[in-house]
Amino acid sequence: MTFTLAVDAMGGDLGPRVTLKAVQQILAEHSDLSIQYYISSSESSWLDDELSNSASYSAAVNSRLHIHYCEQAVEMTDKPSHALRRKQQSTMALALKSIANNETSACISCGNTGALLALSRYTLSTFIDIDRPAMARDIPTVAKPLLLLDLGANIDVGAEGLLQFAVLGVAWRKAQGLQKPRLGVLNIGKEASKGTEEIRLAGQLICELEGIEYAGFVEADELYRGELDIVVCDGFHGNIALKTSEGLLTHVSQQFELLLKSSLLGRGLSFFANPLIERFKRQLDPVLHSGALLLGVNGLVVKSHGKSDQEAFYQSLRYALLQAKSGSDQRLSRELDKLAI
């Protein structure tokens, strides 16, 4: 069986050259994969030269890379409403339309998050009873992955929206085989009286869901304990929690390396400690966990980090291919039918 992915090559901070290298890398590793590559026509000159002069990848690899030159691209400064009204011929919109037309199994983009959400809702529509899709990602913890949602797609969300995020998270975990996932709601305290009125109301609604173990309100310092399967929050706080965690990991790693280099004893210990440090960094490295899933739309849409380098975008492609091969979107749909709100 063969699989086809759609790639929106535009929008990342490092430009489309990064996405091209990642695409060629994954094509070389998977002979059952082809990629529809949507890129701005303004990039045609260097891209044509790159493909014709590429010595690192065979003609067989590049033959499974299908280029689509587009007249428009969604800019990071574009408002979602502008992208929806004015950018229907953009790389992002056309990549999403390829899913709707059953030409591809998933779309991967490192572009404008708000525009990706708006165009995905318009092009693919949402599941029944789901008004707002959520950006979700597995976060590595000491025991098991934690599904955190939303990560920035929805900044201002009420109680009903948080309930829908909980349903999406539970359905996704159940689609992966977890029968009774443990779910918490991110808050500033564990007490029922803490938080905004909408968060308190969301807690009351979510605790009535069947088929879950509701852990109540959880604080941010509990995210990495490995005791939860899902944590629900609005996109504003979810994005801050994620970015703070990524920044802290970088800071701790850098400080530890500086500490080892600061003394003769440290430099001696580094010979033995470096393999452990690298193992620690790989377990938590956000690059290796790159790729957030847009849960709630009728199709697989993966958002890669805007700062993605070749390795990060490759990991997003790899994640999308894994989900496409496993049929996770079909299983999600079936689980959502069982969890009707």
The residue with greater pLDDT, 80 or 12, is 80
Query: How confident is the model over 49-57, as a mean pLDDT?
Result: 73
pLDDT in tens, 168-210: 999 999 999 998 999 999 999 999 899 999 999 999 999 988 8
Least confident of 10-14, 99-103, 280-284, 289-293: 280-284
Residue 286 pLDDT exceeds 70:
no
**Could you give the CA distance from residue 174 to residue 105 in angstroms, rounded to a whole number?**
21
- Nearby residues of 39 by Cβ (< 8 Å), 6 or more positions away: 9, 10, 16, 47, 67, 68, 69, 70, 91
**Could you give the CA distance from residue 286 to residue 203 in angstroms, rounded to a whole number?**
29
pLDDT in tens, 86-122: 999 999 999 999 999 999 999 999 999 999 999 999 9
Q: Mean pLDDT across the chain, nearest whole number?
A: 89
pLDDT in tens, 227-282: 999 999 999 999 898 888 878 777 877 777 777 777 776 666 666 666 766 666 66
The residue with greater pLDDT, 35 or 272, is 35
Strand pairing category for 134-139 and 292-295: antiparallel
Q: What is the pLDDT of residue 54?
A: 65
3-state secondary structure (DSSP) of residue 168: helix
Q: What is the pLDDT of residue 7?
A: 98
Query: With bands split at pLDDT 50, 70 and 90, how would you rate the model's confidence at 60?
Result: confident
3-state secondary structure (DSSP) of residue 7: strand
Q: What is the pLDDT of residue 9?
A: 96
DSSP per-residue string spanning 62-112 = HTTEEEEEESB---TT--HHHHHHH-TTBHHHHHHHHHHTTS-SEEEE-S-
**Could you give the CA distance from residue 321 to residue 300 in angstroms, rounded to a whole number?**
10
Question: What letter would DSSP give residue 43?
Answer: G
Closest CA to 217 of 239, 193, 236, 234: 193
Q: What is the pLDDT of residue 180?
A: 92
Measuring CA to CA, how many Å separate 45 from each of 110, 134, 309? 22, 37, 22
Helix (H) or strand (E) holding 180: none
Query: With bands split at pLDDT 50, 70 and 90, how would you rate the model's confidence at 157?
Result: very high
pTM equals 0.89
Q: Which domains does the chain have, with CATH numbers?
A: 1-130+296-341 (3.40.50.10950), 138-288 (3.40.718.10)
For a pLDDT cut of 70, what percent of the chain falls above it? 91
Closest CA to 313 of 54, 61, 111: 111
pLDDT in tens, 304-330: 988 889 999 999 999 999 999 999 999
